[in-house]
Structure 1
Amino acid sequence: MFFVRTASERDLAKVSALLVETWHATYDGIYGVEKVAELTAKWHSVPALKARLARKDAEFVVADNGRDIGGMGYAAMSETHKKGAVLHQLYVLPKFQKQGIGRDMFAELETCFPDAEFMQLEVEPQNRAALAFYEAHGFVKIGETANCGDGQSGIAALVMEKPLG
């Protein structure tokens, strides 16, 4: 049984490894191994995760069963929309998917922003499992971006939104 809790610095190496494994399993066939390795090195390194953990208007959770970190989620108040929160990451190790871990982490994250009226996220259009998950949890497509994540990633994504409250 996995329990959702706030992440700590001691979790970051395991979270980084979880993200690398999950990203390769999910995106190698879409972006190629080299591009996935490049993105995970940039976005999922321990220093990058440590910066997210330190952010004050954010919540960083893990799903922990006492032996394994089976999933992670990270959301923060939007830097561009005063009343919005952004779900930046929600990943579950492939061997633990379809057990409700993503649902439990998301349920925790969506309650962490009492001042937010909505939550947004970006999702790879070819990631059918993620799309189905987000649609089942009330998200609808509101747009698209050519640069998912940060800066000029060159990764296209759908932008989805869900009302909160």
Structure 2
Amino acid sequence: MFFVRTAGEQDLEKVRALLGETWHATYDRLYGADKVNELHASWHSPASLKARLARKNSEFLVADDGKAIGGMGYAAMSTEMTKTVMLYMLYVSPRHQRQGIGRDIFAELETCFPDAEIMRLEVDPQNEPAIAFYKAHGFVEVSRTENCGNAQSGIPALVFEKRLVGDSIQL
């Protein structure tokens, strides 16, 4: 059984391995192994993961069964949009998918930002399992971008949002 907890520096090597495995299983067919290796080396470098772990107004979670890290999630308050939390990463290792790990990590991340009203994410338009997961958890597509992750990535993405708090009625 996996338990969701806050990640620590001691987890980063296992998290990086999980990300490499998950990215290759998901994106090799879309971008090719060489491009996935390039993106993984850049976006999931030890320094990049360590910086995320240290970032203020963020939450870095892992699903841990005492032997392995089965999934991870990372979200942070947006620096550009008020009351918006960005879900940057939610990945479950291929051998542990469909066991509720992604759901459990996501549920925890939703509670970590009490001042946020919206959760926002980017997802590859061809990643149908991820799109189905996010829609099942209340996300709706609000726009598209041609540069997922950074301004020059050249990787298209759908932008999804979920309202985290109910609309209040003004009297």
| Smaller-chain TM-score bracket | over 0.9
**How far has the Cα of 1:151 moved from its partner?**
2.8
Paired amino acid for 1:18? L
Deviant stretches of 4+, over 2 Å? none
Question: For residues 102 and 38 of structure 1, what CA distance do their matches in structure 2 show?
Answer: 25
Instruction: Note the alpha carbon deviations across 1:30-54, whole angstroms, 9 max, x for none.
Output: 0111110000000111111000000
Q: Percent identity?
A: 68
How far apart, in 2, do the equivalents of 1:79 and 1:144 lie?
20
The runs of 5 or more residues in structure 1 that have no matched partner are none
Q: Which residue of 2 aligns with 1:116?
A: 116
The Cα offsets for residues 107-128 of structure 1, whole Å up to 9 and x where unpaired, read as: 0001111111100000001000
| Offset, 1:87 | 0.2
What is residue 20 of structure 2 aligned with on the other side?
20
TM normalised by structure 1 equals 0.99
Q: Tell me if 1:63 matches 2:63.
A: yes
Larger Rg: 2
Match in the other structure for 1:4:
4
Distance 1:121 1:58 in 2: 14
**CA distance in 2: counterparts of 1:98 and 1:157, whole angstroms:** 23
Q: Distance in 1 between matches of 2:45 and 2:92?
A: 17
1:64-87 Cα offsets, whole Å, 9 max, x none, are 000000000000001111110000
Count of aligned residue pairs for this structure pair? 165
- TM-score of the aligned structures, taking structure 2 as reference length: 0.96
RMSD: 0.5
* Pair 1:139-2:139 in alignment: yes
